Amino acid sequence: MKSITINKPKVLFFDVNETLLDLTKMKKHVGKALGGKEELLSLWFTTMLHYSLVTSASGHYKPFGHIGAAALQMVAANNNITISEEEARKVIIEAMQNLPAHPEVKTALTELKKAGYTLVAFTNSSNEGLKKQFENAGLTDYFDERLSVEDSGKFKPFTNTYVWGANKMGVKLEECMLIAAHGWDVAGALWAGWRAAFVSRPGQQIFPLAPKTEIEESDLKKVADILVTYK
């Protein structure tokens, strides 16, 4: 049987939070702020994503960490807990800037670099937030470029944001591949004309109404093992 040759994407764009960085520590920080209710982490995260979209759809921009803090205040209020804006920002920004990489991430990134791929971080986090996240997680040297949507003025998954990312790297839409652990992110990338790989971290699912992703694996190393076979 003849093997199928798949063309390599010119640039690999990586989502950061949850795809590269482990949010487990966030549960403790968010849970502590919410009276010990660590199970509310997913509600907080989805609320943050929801209001990042509301902000962009309304033609505005606020730093992701500030939206995260506002989301924490909202979730707290629904649980009869009062958190000031200053307290919420301290909890969220400090926690998000001190997340470790998932165990297999550095090995996978090394493998992809050796295979000749251009690696780009592509995140809703702010420029300063991303810089500190990578410094603290030891990921800075693995990437050729770091792109924050702060410079585009719109959060993912707006189509304009993926177009902006491709333009920043000087490549066509179809030459880009997003690697992410969020169904909404890979859906946005695919609808924008990118290729995509989904990392099915625990609790994450592909959006059933979106186009099918090219790769779906349980961790980044397994995604990398497939990508290095591309020609």
Q: Is 179 left (phi over 0), alpha (psi -120 to 50) or beta?
A: beta
Confidence label for 130 from pLDDT (cuts 50, 70 and 90)? very high
pLDDT at 103: 98
How confident is the model over 8-30, as pLDDT tens digits? 999 999 999 999 999 998 888 88
The rounded mean pLDDT for the chain is 95
Q: How far apart are CA 149 and CA 125, in angstroms?
A: 7
Confidence label for 1 from pLDDT (cuts 50, 70 and 90)? very low
Residue 42 reports pLDDT greater than 50:
yes
pLDDT at 4: 67
pLDDT at 155: 97
In sign, the C-alpha dihedral spanning 21, 120, 204, 125 is positive
DSSP three-state, residue 123: strand
In sign, the C-alpha dihedral spanning 45, 48, 54, 55 is negative
Please state the pTM of the whole predicted model.
Answer: 0.95
Residue 199 reports pLDDT greater than 80:
yes
By percentage, how much of the chain surpasses pLDDT 70? 98
Residue 3 reports pLDDT greater than 70:
no
Q: What is the mean pLDDT of residues 63-79?
A: 95
The CATH topology of domain 11-22+100-227 is Rossmann fold (3.40.50)
Smallest Cα–Cα separation from 112: which of 35, 47, 20? 20
Pick among 3.40.50.12280, 1.10.150.240, 3.40.50.1820, 1.10.287.3510: CATH of 24-96: 1.10.150.240
Q: What is the mean pLDDT of residues 91-109?
A: 95
Q: How far apart are CA 49 and CA 156, in angstroms?
A: 9
| Ranges for all domains in the chain classified under CATH 3.40.50.1000 | 11-22+100-227
pLDDT at 23: 92
Cα-to-chain-centroid distance, residue 122 = 7
How confident is the model over 137-153, as pLDDT tens digits? 999 999 999 999 999 99
Confidence label for 5 from pLDDT (cuts 50, 70 and 90)? confident
Where b means 16+ CB within 10 Å and e means fewer, 73-103 reads bbbbeeeeeebeeeebbebbbebbbebbbbe
Show the CA angle centred on residue 53, arms to residues 48 and 59, nearest 5°.
130
Q: What is the mean pLDDT of residues 58-72?
A: 95
| Ranges for all domains in the chain classified under CATH 1.10.150.240 | 24-96
